[in-house]
């Protein structure tokens, strides 16, 4: 699979052409979503036409894009269809599988408990979850799962919030020793939907760690461990805690771990590319049905790493809270100091975010966010200190405090994380500042 860098713009941002989307359709989408768009005087037509191109080429079935300057939405558009079978236009209030955008919500949930003095970031995880006491660790040159050494320091809470605990995922590097063990032992997230968070963590604790805690970064089930940690510390089910502390106060009425029957007419169908190795080749196959798929019933696993569904309006409320120093519409979810800590690198010196298939140069990790710490030569200056993350099916959000710019884009393509469409959207958003 090709590696993709952060900004690979194809559109010419200086070429101004009329938008292919009618103003009436755009106004309908904003009205459906309940989103007020402020006229900034900027011309986003090149961006709109390029997103429509992805639909016309059958690379994406649907996509919405939203740009915010400060706390005001200056552009919101929908493109494509709820599903390719009926070709019903994508609704402004459509419900999307958010996958790893869930991780930001889970991290905020943990930090709410931290503000209440219920744990310290340096506390050992085993203080609250004894199953993670004294884990074994794979040696650096491990050839099998039995090549282990003692853990030199405990897994700490800051480690699970920054993917530096030593856990893995089971699918990112399927040929690795640790992922083979996860798959053989039933700890792959895709094989765990029938488990509760407690059961998943009990199974995960049976495996050695991939590396010494705090010494490296590896994308992992750590945020699902964090979700179970929230349950243990709060004494509440994870979904109930999110509803009480985040969703209810922010008015996120369509965000949940499943889609009830009365909302399924607003649930998007997810597709997969016909060629998984070429993200720009047209052609799509249905991957999850909106009426009969895996989100159409309540699930045992309340995955803090990837279980939520949401709408652009709901997730916008959450993002506006982050941009607003923890407050939105008069509701304070987190204090500014907590958000500042979340936006501070937690990794060891010289350690950065790294994937075998996606390129993220100059990126470190805080308490739930990826952080743009070092700009590449072609990165805009306003990207410095940007914090972000996205979901496997192509739901991305990023916040840039230096430029006051925020972007969100959502599609339903598996896999759609770090897809070229999202890079082009970001390039156009930053280009609009010129």
What's the pTM? 0.93
CA 68, CA 35: separation in Å to the nearest integer? 11
Query: Do residues 102 and 256 make contact, with C-beta atoms less than 8 angstroms apart?
Result: no
- List of E strands, 222-293: 270-273, 284-288
pLDDT at 373 over 70: yes
pLDDT one-digit tens code per residue, 81-127: 999 999 999 999 999 999 999 999 999 999 999 999 999 999 999 99
pLDDT one-digit tens code per residue, 401-422: 999 999 999 999 999 988 999 9
The pLDDT > 70 percentage for the chain reads: 92
Strands 405-410 and 395-400: antiparallel
Q: Which residues pair with 363 in a beta bridge?
A: 372
Compute and round to an integer the Cα radius of gyration of the chain. 21
The more confidently predicted of residues 3 and 118 is 118
Burial of 12 (0-12, 13-18, 19+ CB in 10 A): exposed
At 428 the pLDDT is: 93
pLDDT at 10 over 60: no
pLDDT at 28 over 80: no
Q: What would the mean pLDDT of 46-65 be, rounded to a whole number? A: 97
pLDDT one-digit tens code per residue, 241-279: 999 999 999 999 999 999 999 999 999 999 999 998 898
pLDDT at 377 over 80: yes
pLDDT level of residue 27 (50, 70, 90 thresholds) = low
pLDDT at 2 over 70: no
Q: Please tell me the CATH code under which domain 99-257+299-390 is placed.
A: 3.40.710.10
Look up tokens 């209030």; give the residue. Answer: 93
| Ranges for all domains in the chain classified under CATH 3.40.710.10 | 99-257+299-390
pLDDT level of residue 198 (50, 70, 90 thresholds) = very high
At 32 the pLDDT is: 79
At 14 the pLDDT is: 36
Nearest CA-CA partner of 261 in 241, 291, 300 = 291
The pLDDT > 90 percentage for the chain reads: 83
């Amino acid at each position: 699979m090709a590696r993709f860098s952060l900004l690979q713009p194809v559109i010419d941002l200086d070429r101004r052409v009329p938008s292919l989307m009618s103003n009436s359709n755009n106004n309908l989408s904003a009205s459906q979503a309940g989103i007020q768009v402020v006229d900034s005087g900027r011309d986003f037509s090149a961006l709109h036409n390029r997103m429509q191109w992805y639909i016309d080429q059958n690379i994406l079935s649907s996509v919405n894009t939203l740009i915010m300057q400060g706390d005001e939405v200056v552009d919101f558009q929908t493109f494509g269809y709820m599903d390719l079978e009926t070709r019903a236009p994508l609704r402004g209030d459509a419900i999307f599988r958010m996958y790893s955008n869930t991780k930001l919500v889970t991290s905020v949930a943990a930090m709410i408990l931290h503000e209440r003095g219920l744990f310290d970031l340096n506390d050992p995880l085993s203080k609250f979850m004894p199953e993670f006491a004294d884990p074994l660790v794979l040696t650096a040159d491990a050839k099998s799962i039995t090549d282990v050494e003692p853990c030199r320091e405990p897994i700490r809470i800051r480690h699970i919030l920054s993917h530096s605990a030593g856990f893995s995922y089971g699918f990112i590097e399927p040929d690795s020793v640790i992922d083979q063990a996860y798959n053989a032992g039933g700890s792959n997230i895709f094989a765990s939907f029938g488990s509760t968070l407690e059961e998943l963590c009990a199974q995960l604790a049976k495996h050695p760690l991939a590396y010494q805690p705090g010494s490296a970064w590896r994308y992992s089930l750590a945020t699902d461990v964090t979700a179970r940690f929230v349950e243990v510390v709060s004494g509440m089910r994870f979904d109930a805690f999110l509803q009480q502390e985040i969703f209810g106060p922010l008015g996120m009425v369509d965000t949940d771990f499943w889609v009830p029957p009365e909302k399924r007419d607003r649930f998007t169908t997810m597709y997969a590319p016909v060629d998984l190795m070429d993200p720009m080749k047209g052609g799509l196959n249905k991957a999850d049905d909106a009426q009969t798929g895996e989100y159409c019933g309540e699930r045992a696993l309340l995955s803090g790493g990837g279980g939520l569904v949401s709408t652009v309006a709901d997730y916008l409320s959450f993002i506006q809270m982050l941009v607003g120093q923890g407050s939105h519409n008069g509701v304070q979810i987190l204090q500014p100091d907590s958000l500042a800590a979340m936006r501070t690198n937690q990794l060891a010196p010289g350690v950065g975010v790294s994937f075998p298939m996606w390129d993220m140069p100059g990126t470190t990790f805080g308490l739930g966010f990826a952080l743009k710490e070092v700009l590449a030569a072609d990165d805009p200056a306003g990207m410095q200190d940007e914090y972000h993350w996205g979901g496997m099916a192509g739901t991305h959000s990023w916040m840039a405090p230096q430029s006051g710019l925020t972007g969100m884009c959502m599609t339903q393509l598996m896999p759609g994380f770090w897809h070229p469409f999202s890079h082009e959207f970001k390039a156009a958003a930053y280009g609009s500042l010129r």
